[in-house]
Structure 1
Amino acid sequence: MNKDNNLRMVVQEIEPLQKKDLEEAPEHEVKPSGFPRLKFLKRQLFAAIAVSWVSLIIGYSSAFSAPAEHSIKRDFNLQGDSEISWMSSFMPLGALIGGLGGGSLIEYIGRKWTILLTNILFFVAWFVCYFAQNYIYLYIGRILSGVSVGIASLTLPVYTAETLQPEVRGSLGLLSTVLGNIGILICFSFGIYYEWKGLSMIGVLLCVPFMVMIWFIPETPKFLLAQNDEAKARKALQWLRGAKTDVEKEFVDMQKFQKETANDSENLLVLFKKKNMKLLGIELGLMFFQQFSGINGIIFYITGLFDKSGSNINADVCTTIVGVVNFAATFVASMLIDRLGRKVLLYISSVSMAISLAVLGLFFYLKDVVLMDLHSVDWLPLVCFMTYVLGFSLGFGPIPWLMLGEILPAKIRGPAASISTAFSWTCTFVVTKTSLYFIDTIGAHYTFWMYGFIVCCSLLFSIFIVPETKGFTLADIERKLTGVKVRRISSLANIKPTPSFIG
C-alpha cells in the first residue's frame, strides 16, 4: 500500500511539471506524442506555396503543346509536324538561355525578386500567345515562356532550400513539383474544352496570384547574410520560424558557416576545384537521367502517342488521366521523401519507368512490326503511361531539382545551379526535338527501349553515385560532401507530420 501511495505521489508531482514543460516548449519542439508542434510550419508552408505557384505556371506551359496542337494546326493551316515540333522545342531552348543567366540574377537581385521577374515574363508571354496572328507569335511566346522557365527552375529550389528547416525541406521542397504537376493537369483538363486561344488566356490569369503573394514573403536569410545585412537576415529567419520561436542558435550557425566560406575565391575558378566538380557532376548526372528518361518527349506529344497506339479510349481523356496520375504521384512523393529518403525514391522511380518503357516498346513492336491485333489489350498503353509517369513523378521528376538546392556548395550555388539548369534544358531540347524523329525513323518500339536502357543506367547511378541528404542541414550537407567530418542532426528532426496535420 505504501508503495502505491508513493508511486501516486510521484506521478502527481511529475504531471504538473510535464504540463508546464509542454506549455513553455518552443514551437519547434516535439510533443510527447511524437508529432511536432506545427504552428511554426504555417509561414514556411505559405512561403513554399507562394514561390511554388510559379512552378504551376511552368507545368502549365510545358503541357500547352499537347492539348493545343490540333486547334493550332487548323487555325494556322499547318500541314505537318515541323511547326508544332519547333513550338514545343522553343520552350526548352528559351529555358537554356534563362538558365545561363539565372545564376547571376539570383546573386545580384536576390532569390525573391528573381522569382517575381519570371512571373512577369510568363504574364507577357501568355499575352503574346493570346493575341497571336500567326504561328510566329506563338514561337515568340514560347521562347519568352522558356526564358522564364529556365530562370525559375534554378531559383525555386534555391529559395526553398534556403528557407525551410531540414525536417520539412524534403516534403515542402517538393511543393514546387506538386504545383507544377497541378499545372500540367489544369492544362490537360481545360484542353478538353478550350482551344489554344482560351488556354493562353488561362495562362495569363494563372500569373496573377503570385503578384499578390510575393509581397508577403521574405528574401532568404542566407542571401541577406551574403549581402552583409544581418538585421534583415535575422528578421527574415524570425518570420519564417515564427514570432515566438528562438532562432538565436540557428542564426549563429548561419553566421558561422557564412564566415567559414567567406574566404573562398569569388571567381568562377572555384567551380573547378575537385570537391566542387564532383558535386556538380552528380547534379548534372541527375539532370541527364531525368531528361533522357524521355519524359518531355512523351508529355509534349502524349496525345499523339495515344492516337498511334490505336486505343479505342479517347486520346484527350487518356492524356487527362495521365495528368491526374502525375499530380497524385508527386503528392505521394512529398509525403515519403523525408521518411524513405532521396535514394530509395530514385530506385523505385528507375525500376517502374524501366518496366513500363519495356512493355510499351513490346506493345508497339507487336502492333507495328509483327502486325498483331492488340484490340483486346488496347488499355495497355494507358496503364504503361500511367506507370511511367507515376515512377517519374516519385523520383527522377522532383529529386534532381530538390537536390539542386541541397548538394551544391553555397559559394558556387548560383553559377553551379545556372550550369545545371542550362544543361537540363539543353537535354530537354534534344529530347523534345528528336522524339518525333526517332518515332518516325526507328519506330516507337525502339524509341521506348532506348529510353528504357538509359533509365536502367540511372538506377546504377543512383545506387553508386548519388548521396543521401535526408535529415541534414545545408551546412552539414556541404561539410559532409566536401570531405569535412560532420555530425548527423538529431533523429527528432526526421519526425514530421503528414500534410493533414499542418495547421
Structure 2
Amino acid sequence: MLGAIVSGHIADTIGRKGALVVAAVPNIIGWIVITLAQSRNASLLYLGRLLTEFGVGVISFTVPIYIAEIAPKHLRGSLGTVTQLSVSIGILLAYLFGLFLHWRSLAIAGLVPCALLIIGLFFIPESPRWLAKKKSPLYEDSLQSLRGSDADICFEAVEIKSVVETNNQQTSVKLSELRERRYALPLTIGIGLLLLQQLGGVNGIMFYSSSIFKSAGISSANAASVGLACIQVIMTAITAWLMDKTGRRILLIISSGGMTICLLLVGLAFYLKNQLSGDSAMQTFFSALALTSLLVYIISFSIGIGPIPWIIISEILPVNVKGLGGSVANLTNWLSSWIVTMTINMLLEWSSAGTFLLYAFISALTLAFVALRVPESKGRTLEEIEASFR
C-alpha cells in the first residue's frame, strides 16, 4: 500500500523506467534480507517482505501505464494482458518451486527476475507520452524506435503532442476539480473495477486454495492448487489473444457472470455437503462440484476481471491525473486485497457456504457495474478515450 501511494508521483517525476528501477532495487534488497533471516527470528522476514512489497506496489501501477503508453492501439489490450499473465506465471512458479525448494532457496530464486528487470531497462525506450509531457524533444525518437525505423509516426506524434499540451496548460489538478466529469467518471470506473476485482475473493481463494480444497474433501489439495494456477496461466494467455478481437466490455461481462454462477455453486456444494454428511456418495459428488466450480471460477476470473481492470485504468485516466488517480486506484486495489486476505479464514470458520455466497453477491455487483458504467476502449487511441470523457 505504501508503494501504491507513491507510485504515481514517482512515475510522473522520474519517468516510467525510473520508477521501475526504484521498484526493482528494494525488491532485490528484500529478497537478500529474507535469505539471511534466522528460523527463530521473524524480524528479518518482516523487513524483507516490507521491502519486496513496496517494490510490488510501485510495479503494479507503473507496468500497465508504461505498456498502455507505448503500445499501438490495435495491440494495447493484448499487450496490457501480459501484466496479469506474468502475475499468473509467477504464482504458478511459486507453487511448483515451493513443492521441492526450501523457503530460503525460494527467496534466492526471487532475485533472478528482479535482476533481469534492471538489465532489461537499459534496452527499452522511455514512454513517448511521458517525454512529451516533460516537453522533451526525444519523445519522437522514442515513438519512432517503438514503431520501427520505417514507420510513419507523424500523425501519432502530433496527436500526442496536442493532447499533452492541452493538459500541460493545467499542470496540477486540485482535489475539488476531481468532481468534474472528465476526471470523476474515469476515476470511478477505474477504482470501482479494481475494488470489485479484489472483493470477489480471488486472492484469498488463491492464497488458501490448499486449505479450501481440504475442507471440501479433496485429498490431493496441493496438486489441485497447482492445477488452479496452471489454468489461470492458460486462460490469461488466451485472453491476451482475445482482448483486441472481442473488446473489453464483453469479456468483463462474461467473466463476472461466470464468477457469480461458480461461486454460487461452490457455496451450494459446501452447504449441502454439511447437510448430508452421512451420505458418502453425495459427499464425493459435492467435493467434485466444489473443485470443478472453483476451477471454472478461475477460468472466468482470468478471461476478464483479472487482467482487464489494470488495462482500463491505464487507458482511461487523463495524463495530468494519471499519477494521482493511479496511486488512489492502486492503493484501493492493495487495501481491498489485504482486507480479503486477512478476513477469509475468519469467514471460512464462520461459514464456508456463507463466504462463497458473499463473494458471489459481490461478483453480481461487478456484473451490474460493468454493464452500466464501463465503456468500450478497444481500437481507440488514448487521446480519443480521454476526449470521450469531456
State the TM bucket, normalised to the shorter chain.
over 0.9
Q: Deviations over 1:69-114 (max 9, x none)?
A: xxxxxxxxxxxxxxxxxxxxxxxxxxx1111111110111111110
Q: Which amino acid aligns with 2:194?
A: M
> 2:243 maps to which residue?
337
Does 1:304 find its partner at 2:193? no
Measured in 2, the distance between the counterparts of 1:211 and 1:203 equals 14
Partners of 2:253 and 2:370 within 8 A in 1: yes
Contact 1:257 1:475 in 2 (8 A): yes
Q: Is the 8 A contact 1:171 1:335 kept in 2?
A: yes
Q: TM-score, normalised by structure 1?
A: 0.74
Aligned to 1:101: 6
Q: Cα deviation per residue 1:148-185 (whole Å; 9 max; x = unaligned)? A: 11111111111011100100000011111111111111
Which of 241, 252, 256 is the equivalent residue of 1:350? 256
Q: Deviations over 1:422-449 (max 9, x none)?
A: 01111111111111111112x1110000
Whether contact under 8 Å (2:7, 2:58) holds in the other structure is yes
| Deviation for aligned residue 1:379 | 3.0
Partners in 1 of 2:259 and 2:76 — Cα distance? 26
Q: Residue 373 of structure 2: which of 465, 468, 482 is its match?
A: 465
Q: Alignment partner for residue 131 of structure 1, among 36, 43, 46?
A: 36
Q: Distance in 2 between matches of 1:390 and 1:241?
A: 34
- Name the counterpart of 2:313: 404
Take 2:343 and 2:276, find their aligned partners in 1: how far apart are those partners? 25
Contact 1:126 1:204 in 2 (8 A): yes
Cα deviations across residues 328-365 of structure 1 (Å, max 9, x unaligned)? 11111111111111010011111111111111111111
Q: Verify: 1:414 aligned to 2:319, yes or no.
A: no
Query: Displacement, 1:367?
Result: 2.3
Task: State the one-letter code of the partner of 1:355.
Answer: I
* Residue of structure 1 in register with 2:352 after alignment: 444
The aligned residue for residue 166 of structure 2 is 260
Distance in 2, Cα, partners of 1:430 & 1:300: 13
**Which runs of 5 or more residues in structure 2 are unaligned?**
none
Q: Which amino acid aligns with 2:382?
A: L
Alignment TM-score, normalising by the size of structure 2: 0.95
- 378-387 or 418-427, which moves further after superposition? 378-387
How many corresponding residue pairs?
384
Which deviates the most, 270-279 or 237-246? 270-279
Q: Residue 265 and residue 251 in structure 1: after superposition, are their counterparts in 2 closer, same or farther (change >3 A)?
A: closer
Q: 2: CA distance between counterparts of 1:382 and 1:370?
A: 18
C-alpha distance in 2 between matches for 1:132 and 1:356: 41
Question: Aligned partners of 2:185, 2:367: CA distance in 1, in Å?
Answer: 19
Q: Is the 8 A contact 2:193 2:309 kept in 1?
A: yes
Residue 275 of structure 1, CA deviation:
2.5
Residues 198-277 of structure 1 correspond to what in structure 2 (within 5 A)?
A: 198-230=105-137, 232-269=138-175, 270-277=177-184
Match of 1:432 among 341, 364, 378: 341
Three-state SS of the structure 2 residue aligned to 1:310 is: coil
Report deviation, 1:390.
0.8
CA distance in structure 1 between the aligned counterparts of 2:104 and 2:292, rounded to whole angstroms: 31
Are the counterparts in 2 of residues 154 and 404 from structure 1 also a CA contact under 8 Å?
Answer: no
Aligned pairs for 1:96-175 within 5 A:
96-133=1-38, 134-175=41-82
Partner amino acid for 2:221?
Answer: A
Residue in 2 that maps onto 1:364: 270
The answer for unaligned runs of 5 or more in structure 1 is: 1-95, 483-503
Secondary structure of the residue aligned to 2:112 is helix
Cα distance in 2 between the residues matched to 1:168 and 1:289: 26
Per the TM alignment, residue 369 of structure 1 is displaced from its structure 2 partner at its CA by: 4.4
RMSD: 1.4
Q: Which residue of 2 aligns with 1:280?
A: 187
Contact 2:273/2:286, CA 8 A, preserved across alignment = no
